[in-house]
Chains A and B, each alone.
Chain A
Amino acid sequence: MNLSARANATSTESVAKLSVRDISRRFETRGKIVEALKGVSFDVPSGGFYSIIGHSGCGKSTLLNIVAGLDQATSGVVAVDGVVRRSPGPDRGMVFQSYTLFPWLSVIENVAFGMRMGGMGKKERREAAQHYVELVKLSAFVDAYPKELSGGMRQRVALARALANKPAVLLMDEPFGALDAETREQMQELLLNVRNKEFMTVLFITHDIEEAILLSETIGIMAARPGRVAHEFKIELPYPRDAATKVSDAFVQNKRRLIEVFKSI
């Protein structure tokens, strides 16, 4: 290997923001051992958008919980910037499918929560949070409480709250799964829009094939029993993307290819 090739190899390695290596997870229920995940490996490059798709029960959420540090792998490692992570931390921010806003905090206080936990001063964190509230287009609701917000608005706040903490990797566990079809489309466009403005590395879980194609650069297709990444699929669609991308020929071609692979597993 010549020198420049080696330099190249190291640089490709260093851009792997998130590395998931050989993750296995076994559960024991009523004396029976269930292998939820077996040998899951993939990388998400810095600034990348990686989606995991798979049928329900294939272990997608277990995998994401392990990456977040909320569940422990039986074997294998998760590394962020080359550093192994075993417990949850602010470097892996998360947006859940269920509504997880803190009901006793206003929108801006929710967004500033992570900064408050980190010891940032009130004025400073409020200013920083303001930017993210604007980013998700909720400036008119800064002082509203979660109970006054619709489902889509709550998930926008959850996204702003995760981003405001400047995580190395943003983890999203079917974040639009509980929303109606129209709101979900709006949220997908908003996420694309946010990603145009903010540098972020995303690991996204969904069972919606179109959503995965529209948002991702790479899709990992999970097979079940035991859960594993059976295929990796590159999405060849230029950015910036928007809702119109969904009706383009290139999108349809990607979808056709993906469905074939999806059926074969």
Chain B
Amino acid sequence: MPTWLSQIGRIRAPIPAALYWTVAAATFVIPAAIWWLASSSGYVDRLFLPSPADVAKQAVVLAENGRLWSDIGWSVFRVFAGFTLAAIVAIPIGILMGTYHIADAIFEPFTDFVRYMPAAAFIPLIMLYVGIGETAKILMIFIGTYFQLVLLVAAVARTVPIDVINVAYTLGASRRQVLTNVVVPASLPGLVENLRITLGWAWTYVIVAELIAAQQGLGFRIMEAQRFLKTDTIFLYIAIIGLLGLASDQIMRRISSKTMPWAETFDR
């Protein structure tokens, strides 16, 4: 038995990189192959299941007339704006929550309460208050991600070992210095990791917001395609949302390993 085979079932044991990426690629190729076989078999109505070729054709059409790029641009802009706003507010508040019990008392119970309200249920109110412009979509993403993110940041700040904080005091650091020079940098890797995960939710909420009230963007185009029974466009846009998510995830990973070479990482 080759050694890599015996490694597979071993808890947390690394496997060869080639094996890892072959398996990962297969998880994309196999569903695509099944899709292609099902659509070309003739058993399934093309209206319900367009072929990969139909979707590719539609991609070319929409790319050429520029609509694809403008839709991507709008959605990326909304995700970026809403998510950045959520992060800017959630990071300092979360760090304070994880550091001072009084901040925890102020924010945690209330956040837990709001967190369980479905963000999409706020849409009617958002439309009533700020209309259906860009603010509405950004607000939607903010509500959908802020309340989750702030709790995750607080949990990260709480994991900074007390001895690491104490040693800074014995080295002459003031409370303020301990907060800015110890708690904040010690929280960074966990913080970036959680930003990466919540970014996925921002993508969910931008589509929800666009499905309901928008004139452009990926979510809007999916809704419009449904009206005209353009299943190929729906397929294309759903795949693109996945690809954009995957790309932003990889970018975040890259930034994180480049800017924090000191962080302990999970070995593949």
Contact = CB atoms under 8 A, between A and B. Distances in A.
B is a partner of A: yes
Interface of A: 68-70, 88-90, 92-94, 96, 98, 100, 102-106, 113-114, 116-118, 145-147, 158, 161-162, 165, 167, 171
B166 A94 contact: yes
Looking at chain A's contact residues, is the secondary structure mostly helix, strand, loop, or mixed?
loop
Contacts of B100: none
A219 B262 CA distance: 40
B188 A104 contact: yes
Contacts of B263: 103-104, 147
Interface residues of B, number: 23
Interface string B50-61: 000000000000
Contacts of B166: 68, 70, 88, 94, 96, 100
A98 B161 contact: yes
B173 A117 contact: yes
B186 A103 contact: yes
Nearest to B178: A117
B163 A102 contact: no
A113 B185 contact: no
A81 B24 CA distance: 65
Interface in B170-229: 170-174, 177, 181-182, 185-186, 188
A66 B238 CA distance: 61
Contact of B171 (A69, A70, A93, A106): A93
B171 A100 contact: no
A135 B98 CA distance: 37
Given A102-B164, A102-B186, A88 B170 contact: yes
Q: Which of B161, B169, B171, B188 has the largest count of A CB atoms less than 10 A from its CB?
A: B171
B161 A100 contact: yes
B167 A104 contact: no
Contacts of A167: 170
Nearest to B181: A117
A98 B163 contact: yes
A103 B163 contact: no
Contact of B168 (A98, A103, A104, A113): A113
Q: Which 7 A-B pairs have the closest CB atoms?
A: A90-B172, A114-B171, A88-B169, A94-B170, A145-B262, A100-B167, A117-B173
Given A88-B170, A104-B260, 18 more contacts: A68-B166, A68-B170, A69-B169, A90-B170, A90-B171, A90-B172, A94-B167, A98-B163, A100-B164, A100-B167, A102-B186, A104-B185, A114-B171, A117-B171, A117-B173, A117-B174, A147-B264, A161-B171
Given A92-B170, A114-B171, A165-B172, A104 B262 contact: yes
Interface of B: 161, 163-164, 166-174, 177, 181-182, 185-186, 188, 260-264
Nearest to B170: A94
Nearest to A146: B262
A106 B166 CA distance: 19
A145 B189 CA distance: 15
Contacts of B177: 117
Given A102-B182, A102-B185, A96 B163 contact: yes
Contacts of B173: 113-114, 117
B169 A70 contact: yes
16 contacts: A68-B170, A88-B166, A89-B172, A93-B171, A94-B167, A96-B167, A98-B161, A100-B164, A102-B186, A103-B263, A113-B171, A117-B171, A117-B172, A147-B263, A158-B167, A165-B172
